[in-house]
């Protein structure tokens, strides 16, 4: 019985993906393209050869971090929609360290830049955490307001003091080589950020499976009152998980700068923040699930650009697909819960 | 004087979409469904308003189309959060995500297939001019110079106020937001009212979005709602979950927006990016000052399960 | 006796994890008061919710005036003249009494809410039965008794001829209860029938016509009230096979361990809900805090445990000041707490039994070191407690939300008692659980006392109070009415004190 339930739980995201693929296939057929051909191009563009596979992995890195960011807060039953803002803050802080701290050895410069990004993300996330704990302000609203604010503040910086050349397009100077994440394989873009992402997944798993802190956070997430009655500080758990979520978000931005981009350009993030929500929900807030769904959504994103190049299908198709997947995952787990209750009722009879 | 007129009229223009979506939020939350999908539904309304206006040649039919599409989106929200009792925040987030996808995709198709790659203008609203009143000095411009949907919005606020506080159904509606179990024991179909409220919220968001694209901008741009759905959500809280409260809160946020825009034009030397932060920061500050507990429907955000079926 | 106007035949109803009703048959005659008697969890409330149309039975039939009916909703029930006064009032606190009474009426006709059009008709009912209700007062500002009267008016206004009252006296003072009985007599005089749910046998003996007894979801028997006795009712209700925990008043009390000095607590609205309470509790002693629900006893318990801010006075444990200490530090000091609401306060329903058992133990070096959980030790610990406290299912990984109420309570009790708390505060530790689990938990409480724990049991149930306590403190409207020796006081005296009579004025020693 329990094994069956576990299987159902694992099969659900797969079913959601399948259903979304089917619906999108119908949409593709609707605009007069062949779905089979489109999916072939998509797969080819995403994982068809060594280069596209490594490119997909590069795309996966920020998605893992923003996914972990949403998931960590969600474990505490708070909803961090603010990964996008935290990512921008992390990006600008790490870029600043990467550009302006000169004369440091790589062994010091790179960790310092990463640290700056993590701290900036964490600090930015501490604002909604404080607003939530102190004034009971809905964190969804506050994180979104802070997303817009972060993007505008970063824009002000990049257009203003951090601009490389006021007469050229708005971007910062290049990050010094000592602060760059090393490329893993010659001739590809895949950098050491993927290792950091894997490490973050392992850490997340450890925290929630084996550590007291994760147990506390889950208890607060599942029943705040009971946690309080057991002597757990609810406020502290909320603040800590929001700040850690912010650290993950900040690292997403930092690694994107230090690994992939090499400098900060306005609009560098194709909504990694909201993609992270899809990643976390599809991955059922579990480390392995988050890794797999980040890879899947990264592959879809990359494949979609190939699709747009070779057919008339706009790459926004993938955003729709992502949304459908998330809706089906939500509907699926709700239906699963209802079915479980029915089963429990039958058992009594 | 000209400055004040400018600020006031542009504040009203910014406030109207917030009010419309906020009124939807009031209906939804008064029935106990915390609706954070205002943003996504506004975005859908903005696009489909333009689309149907182009297709039919009439901005009014454009608004109608936007209302219908958003009613559908509202229905999806309703089924997931009411029938399936899924977490309302997660459902709303998913709807916001999918709205970005659908509007982005459709815009791309619209531009490539119809506009041949260029931005196209669509039939949109013109300001109504009321004889005599519109030509009054100052008042004429501040009160009587708007496009028709502005007046429709004020009317809707009044109607929703009457509905909530002066009708039997309104009393039932509010009771469901407070304690759905009570309404259920009185034989009221709780979920039917909730469905109605969430779908009506979608319709109002549709008008709101269509107002932004057909009345303020005369075109659709990706991401053009840019957080106004969430500001409207905040306006519901700041306005104490009442229609006139939302109207007032929206005008307040509209004023902040208008002043900010005016300062951009005045070349004060402050980065215009930073000025653009003002509405978002104002929202946070307003929420700090809103006394949340006072009027918040007691069952807001909680799914209602009579028994697990 | 009048003719049979209502019959329920072979009603069955199950919920996830619970069999609430099984082949239940009852009948009701015109103008009679039928009492439904049974322990908590015997299935009385569910049966009546089925009659009220709120729940649908899994099987079984309902007949009104000999014709089979299907009561698909409370509205269908009220259309047949059946109205229910729930245990938890079905009122909207922010609405006025009048708004609550007319809520949901005549939705099909005139859409506008004309409060005044209803007022005279509502007032007529109020006057007829002498129910004191201020129609323009918000329910939130009313006393519990007045709220109940609003409920009754609401039901009568919907022209109910069969009234169901679910434990109406549980929240009332004896004076208010007597007023209620008077109103019920008036209903009878008007030819209305009443079904009255209770587990207080004396009041049923006083004014019911017949008594139907339920146990574990089944009807045991029906007595004519005139031909039965409290003793017979009690043994039938409980079933012969249950062993009551025997409270031998051994003199085990030692030094004073917990001392409350002039403790005051204000709630969020700044209303003082605990007023100048001073108490001393010794090691090896059970002090019961008796009182009618909602008189500040739960808040007092939470205050002792650091869960509520003490706004005045001091609390000492072993002579040390622990006023407003953190919950965590108190747990470390050996405090234990069985909270009033197990589902929202005591358990994380989505956690497994094991994780729930761990909640207060997690900081112990045995179960976590350097921030890491020691899974093997935790599992051993969970299995041990499951065995010792007979928790079912015996699977440590089973989710607590799938356990029955009694087993959920056992999880809490196991967690708290296994720590051998030096100071134990238990609020209604057996509310809503079956008789065997009740007996089990009471026995454990007495064991804890023997081990020298200092125990406070907050209870609204006088049977419980008398069966386990050494001394009884009575609280009314946040004030301590007095503390009595359990062996030297009668339930009547305690009942009197619960209504606000001070110990000095009651006749007890």
Q: For residue C244, name the pLDDT band (cuts at 50, 70, 90).
A: very low
Average pLDDT over residues C259-288: 90
Nearest CB among B167, B178, B184 relative to C111 is that of B167
Say whether B172 and C93 touch across the interface (CB within 8 A): no
Q: For residue C346, name the pLDDT band (cuts at 50, 70, 90).
A: very high
Rounded CA-CA distance B256/B284 in Å is: 12
* Residue C209 confidence (pLDDT): 93
Q: For residue C246, name the pLDDT band (cuts at 50, 70, 90).
A: low
What are the start-end ranges of the E strands in C199-239?
210-215, 218-224
* Residue C242 confidence (pLDDT): 44
Q: For residue C413, name the pLDDT band (cuts at 50, 70, 90).
A: very high
- The pLDDT tens digits for A185-222 are 988 999 999 999 999 999 999 999 999 999 999 999 99
Q: For residue A1, name the pLDDT band (cuts at 50, 70, 90).
A: very low
Instruction: Give the β-pairing of C471-476 and C285-290.
Output: parallel
Nearest by Cα to C52 from C79, C92, C34, C14: C79
- Identify the closest residue of chain B to C73 by CA–CA distance: B187
pLDDT greater at residue C179 or residue A196: A196
Rounded CA-CA distance C47/B241 in Å is: 38
Q: For residue C314, name the pLDDT band (cuts at 50, 70, 90).
A: very high
- The pLDDT tens digits for A30-43 are 888 899 999 999 99
Share of chain C above pLDDT 90, in %: 48
Residue C312's H or E segment, with its range, is: strand C312-317
A16 at interface of B, judged by CB pairs closer than 8 A: no
Average pLDDT, chain A: 92
Say whether C104 and B186 touch across the interface (CB within 8 A): yes
Rounded CA-CA distance A169/A294 in Å is: 31
Counting every residue written for chain B, the total comes to: 309
pLDDT greater at residue B222 or residue B142: B222
- The pLDDT tens digits for B150-161 are 999 999 999 999
- CA distance to partner chain B, nearest, from residue A47 (Å): 23
Average pLDDT over residues C353-371: 90
Average pLDDT, chain B: 89
**Cβ atoms C315, C261 nearer than 8 A:** yes
* Residue C241 confidence (pLDDT): 46
pLDDT over threshold 80, residue C268: no
Alpha-carbon distance values, B226 to A55, B277, C81, C212 (Å):
30, 12, 55, 65
**What single DSSP character describes residue C402?**
G
* Residue A32 confidence (pLDDT): 84
pLDDT greater at residue A1 or residue B148: B148
- CA distance to partner chain A, nearest, from residue C148 (Å): 29
Q: What are phi and psi of B167, to 5 degrees?
A: -120, 160
Say whether C351 and A344 touch across the interface (CB within 8 A): no
Q: For residue C509, name the pLDDT band (cuts at 50, 70, 90).
A: very low
Range C216-221 contact pairs with CB under 8 angstroms and sequence separation of 24 or more: C216/C41, C216/C42, C216/C43, C216/C434, C217/C19, C217/C20, C217/C21, C217/C22, C217/C24, C217/C42, C217/C43, C218/C21, C218/C22, C218/C23, C218/C24, C218/C43, C219/C24, C219/C25, C219/C26
| B contacts of A323 (beta carbons < 8 Å) | 94-95, 97-102
- Identify the closest residue of chain B to C50 by CA–CA distance: B185
Q: In the numeric block, which tokens belong to residue B259?
A: 């002043």
- Identify the closest residue of chain C to B183 by CA–CA distance: C104
Show which residues on chain C lie within 8 Å of chain B, measured between beta carbons.
15-16, 52-55, 73-76, 78, 84, 86, 90-95, 99, 102-107, 110-113
**CA-based torsion, B225, B231, B233, B236: positive or negative:** negative
Nearest by Cα to C325 from C415, C258, C411: C258
Residue A243's H or E segment, with its range, is: helix A234-255
* Residue A3 confidence (pLDDT): 65
The side-by-side arrangement of strands in the sheet containing C67-69 is C18-29, C4-15, C59-64, C67-69
Rounded CA-CA distance B23/B248 in Å is: 12
Q: For residue C11, name the pLDDT band (cuts at 50, 70, 90).
A: very high
- CA distance to partner chain B, nearest, from residue C175 (Å): 28
Share of chain B above pLDDT 70, in %: 95
* Residue C110 confidence (pLDDT): 87
Share of chain C above pLDDT 70, in %: 94
Q: For residue B267, name the pLDDT band (cuts at 50, 70, 90).
A: confident
| C contacts of A235 (beta carbons < 8 Å) | none
Nearest by Cα to C209 from C453, C432, C27: C27
* Residue B76 confidence (pLDDT): 95
Nearest by Cα to B210 from B20, B7, B74, B4: B20
Q: In the numeric block, which tokens belong to residue C62?
A: 């309902």
Q: For residue A299, name the pLDDT band (cuts at 50, 70, 90).
A: very high
* Residue C154 confidence (pLDDT): 94
Report residue C353 CA to chain centroid gap. 25
Average pLDDT over residues B257-270: 85
Helices (H) and strands (E) in chain A, counts: 13, 0
Q: In the numeric block, which tokens belong to residue A88?
A: 């921008």
Say whether B98 and A142 touch across the interface (CB within 8 A): no
- The pLDDT tens digits for A121-136 are 999 999 999 999 999 8
DSSP lists the bridge partners of residue C279 as C260
Q: Is the bond leading into C393 cis (omega within 30 degrees of zero)?
A: yes
- CA distance to partner chain A, nearest, from residue B140 (Å): 35
Q: Is ipTM strictly over 0.85?
A: yes
Contact partners for chain B, using 3 or more CB pairs closer than 8 A, are A, C
Dihedral of the alpha carbons of A97, A98, A99, A101, in degrees to the nearest 10: 50
* Residue C506 confidence (pLDDT): 65
Nearest CB among A210, A218, A341 relative to C372 is that of A210
Instruction: Give the β-pairing of C4-15 and C210-215.
Output: unpaired
pLDDT over threshold 90, residue B309: no
**Cβ atoms A134, A239 nearer than 8 A:** no
Nearest by Cα to C49 from C17, C16, C11, C105: C11
Average pLDDT, chain C: 87
* Residue C33 confidence (pLDDT): 93
* Residue B116 confidence (pLDDT): 61
Q: For residue B299, name the pLDDT band (cuts at 50, 70, 90).
A: confident
* Residue B308 confidence (pLDDT): 40
What are the start-end ranges of the E strands in C94-243?
162-166, 193-198, 210-215, 218-224
> Residue C183 half-sphere exposure, CB side, CA atoms within 13 Å?
24
* Residue A55 confidence (pLDDT): 95
- The pLDDT tens digits for C104-120 are 888 888 889 888 889 99
Task: Give the best residue of C53, C103, C154, C401 to mutate against chain B (max B CB count within 10 A).
Answer: C103
**Cβ atoms B71, B96 nearer than 8 A:** no
* Residue C41 confidence (pLDDT): 67
What are the start-end ranges of the E strands in C169-284?
193-198, 210-215, 218-224, 256-266, 272-282
pLDDT over threshold 50, residue C163: yes
* Residue C243 confidence (pLDDT): 46
Q: For residue C439, name the pLDDT band (cuts at 50, 70, 90).
A: confident
Average pLDDT over residues A242-248: 98
Q: For residue C239, name the pLDDT band (cuts at 50, 70, 90).
A: low
pLDDT over threshold 60, residue C247: no
CB-count burial class (<10 Å; 0-12, 13-18, 19+) for C401: middle
Q: pTM for this one? A: 0.90
| C contacts of A213 (beta carbons < 8 Å) | 371
Average pLDDT over residues C2-17: 86
Q: For residue B307, name the pLDDT band (cuts at 50, 70, 90).
A: low
């Amino acid at each position: 019985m329990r094994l069956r339930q576990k299987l159902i739980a694992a099969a659900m995201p797969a079913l959601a993906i399948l259903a979304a693929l089917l619906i999108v296939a119908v949409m593709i057929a609707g605009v007069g393209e062949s779905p089979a051909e489109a999916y072939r191009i998509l797969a080819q563009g995403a994982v068809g050869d060594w280069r596209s596979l490594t490119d997909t992995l590069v795309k996966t890195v920020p998605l893992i971090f923003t996914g972990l960011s949403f998931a960590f807060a969600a474990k505490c039953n708070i909803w961090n929609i603010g990964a996008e803002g935290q990512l921008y803050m992390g990006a600008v802080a790490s870029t600043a360290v990467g550009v302006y701290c000169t004369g440091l050895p790589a062994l010091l410069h790179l960790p310092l830049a990463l640290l700056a990004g993590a701290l900036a993300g964490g600090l930015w996330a501490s604002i909604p955490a404080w607003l939530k704990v102190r004034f009971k302000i809905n964190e969804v609203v506050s994180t979104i307001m802070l997303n817009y604010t972060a993007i505008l503040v970063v824009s002000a910086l990049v257009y203003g003091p951090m601009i490389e050349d006021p007469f050229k397009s708005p971007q910062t100077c290049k990050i010094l080589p000592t602060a760059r994440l090393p490329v893993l394989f010659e001739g590809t873009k895949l950098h050491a950020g993927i290792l950091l992402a894997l490490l973050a997944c392992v850490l997340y798993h450890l925290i929630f499976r084996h550590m007291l802190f994760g147990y506390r956070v889950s208890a607060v997430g599942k029943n705040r009152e009971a946690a309080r009655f057991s002597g757990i500080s609810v406020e502290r758990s909320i603040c800590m998980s929001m700040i850690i979520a912010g650290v993950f978000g900040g690292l997403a931005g930092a690694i994107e700068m230090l690994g992939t981009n090499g400098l900060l350009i306005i609009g560098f993030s194709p909504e990694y923040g909201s993609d992270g929500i899809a990643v976390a929900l599809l991955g059922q807030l579990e480390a392995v699930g988050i890794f797999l769904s980040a890879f899947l959504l990264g592959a879809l994103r990359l494949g979609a650009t190939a699709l747009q190049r070779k057919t008339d299908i706009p790459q926004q198709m993938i955003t729709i697909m992502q949304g459908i997947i998330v809706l089906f995952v939500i509907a699926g787990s709700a239906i699963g819960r209802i079915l479980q209750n029915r089963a429990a009722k039958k058992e009594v009879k | 004087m000209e400055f004040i007129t400018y600020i006031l009229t542009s504040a009203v223009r910014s406030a109207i979409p917030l009010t419309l979506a906020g009124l939807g939020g009031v209906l939804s939350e008064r029935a106990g469904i915390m609706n954070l999908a205002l943003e996504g539904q506004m975005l859908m309304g903005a696009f489909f308003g333009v689309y149907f206006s182009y297709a039919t040649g009439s901005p009014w039919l454009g608004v109608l189309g936007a209302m219908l599409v958003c009613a559908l989106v509202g229905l999806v929200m309703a089924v997931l959060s009411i029938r399936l009792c899924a977490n309302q925040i997660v459902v709303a987030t998913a709807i916001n995500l999918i709205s970005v996808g659908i509007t982005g995709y459709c815009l791309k198709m619209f531009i490539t297939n119809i506009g041949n790659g260029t931005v196209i203008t669509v039939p949109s609203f013109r300001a109504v001019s009321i004889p005599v009143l519109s030509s009054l000095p100052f008042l004429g411009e501040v009160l009587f110079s708007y496009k028709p949907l502005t007046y429709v919005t004020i009317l809707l606020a009044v109607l929703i106020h009457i509905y909530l506080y002066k009708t039997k159904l309104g009393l039932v509606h509010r009771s469901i937001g407070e304690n759905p179990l009570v309404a259920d024991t009185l034989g009221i179909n709780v979920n039917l009212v909730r469905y109605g409220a969430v779908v009506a919220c979608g319709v109002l968001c549709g008008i709101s979005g269509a107002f932004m694209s057909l009345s303020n901008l005369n075109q659709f741009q990706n991401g053009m709602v840019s957080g106004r759905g969430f500001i409207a959500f905040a306006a519901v809280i700041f306005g104490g979950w009442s229609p006139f409260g939302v109207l007032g809160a929206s005008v307040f946020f509209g004023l902040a927006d208008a002043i900010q825009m005016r300062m951009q034009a005045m070349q004060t030397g402050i980065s215009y990016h930073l000025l653009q932060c003002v509405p978002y920061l104002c929202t946070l500050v307003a929420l700090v000052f809103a006394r949340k507990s006072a009027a918040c429907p007691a069952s807001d955000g909680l799914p209602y399960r009579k028994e697990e079926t | 006796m009048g003719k049979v106007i209502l019959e329920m035949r072979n009603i069955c109803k199950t919920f996830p994890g619970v069999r609430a009703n099984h082949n239940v048959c009852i009948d009701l005659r015109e103008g009679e008061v039928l009492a439904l008697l049974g322990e908590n969890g015997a299935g009385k409330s569910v049966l009546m919710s089925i009659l009220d149309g709120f729940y649908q039975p899994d099987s079984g039939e309902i007949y009104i005036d000999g014709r089979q009916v299907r009561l698909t909703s409370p509205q269908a029930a009220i259309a047949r003249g059946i109205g229910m006064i729930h245990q938890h009032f079905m009122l909207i606190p922010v609405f006025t009494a009048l708004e609550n009474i007319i809520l949901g009426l005549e939705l099909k006709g005139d859409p506008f809410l004309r409060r005044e059009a209803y007022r005279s008709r509502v007032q007529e009912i109020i006057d007829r039965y002498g129910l004191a209700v201020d129609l323009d007062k918000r329910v939130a500002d009313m006393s519990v008794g007045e709220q109940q009267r609003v409920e009754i008016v609401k039901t009568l206004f919907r022209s109910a001829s069969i009234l169901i009252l679910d434990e109406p006296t549980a929240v009332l003072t004896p004076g208010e209860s007597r007023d209620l009985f008077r109103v019920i007599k008036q209903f009878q005089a008007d030819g209305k029938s009443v079904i009255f749910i209770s587990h207080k046998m004396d009041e049923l003996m006083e004014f019911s016509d017949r008594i139907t007894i339920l146990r574990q979801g089944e009807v045991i028997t029906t007595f004519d009230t005139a031909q039965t006795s409290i003793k017979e009712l009690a043994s039938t209700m409980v079933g012969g096979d249950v062993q009551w925990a025997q409270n031998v008043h051994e003199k085990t009390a030692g030094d004073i361990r917990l001392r409350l000095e002039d403790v005051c607590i204000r709630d969020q609205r700044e209303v003082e809900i605990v007023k100048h309470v001073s108490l001393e509790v010794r090691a090896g002693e059970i002090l019961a805090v008796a009182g009618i629900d909602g008189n500040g006893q739960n808040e007092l318990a939470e205050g002792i445990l650091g869960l509520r801010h003490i706004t005045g006075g001091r609390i000492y444990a072993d002579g040390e000041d622990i006023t407003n200490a953190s919950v965590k530090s108190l747990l470390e000091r050996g405090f234990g707490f069985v909270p009033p609401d197990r589902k929202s306060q005591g358990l994380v329903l989505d956690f497994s039994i094991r994780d729930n058992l761990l909640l207060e133990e997690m900081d112990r070096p045995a179960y976590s070191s350097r921030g890491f959980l020691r899974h093997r030790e935790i599992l051993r610990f969970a299995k041990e407690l499951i065995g010792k406290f007979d928790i079912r299912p015996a699977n440590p990984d089973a989710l607590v939300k799938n356990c029955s109420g009694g087993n959920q309570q056992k999880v809490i009790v196991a967690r708290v008692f296994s720590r051998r708390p030096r100071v134990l505060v238990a609020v209604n530790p057996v509310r809503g659980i079956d008789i065997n689990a009740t007996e089990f938990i009471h026995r454990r409480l007495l064991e804890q006392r023997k081990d020298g724990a200092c125990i406070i049991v907050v209870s609204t149930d006088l049977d419980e109070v008398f069966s386990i306590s050494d001394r009884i403190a009575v609280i009314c409207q946040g004030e301590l009415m007095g503390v009595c020796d359990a062996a030297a006081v009668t339930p009547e005296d305690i009942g009197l004190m619960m209504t606000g009579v001070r110990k000095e004025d009651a006749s007890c020693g």
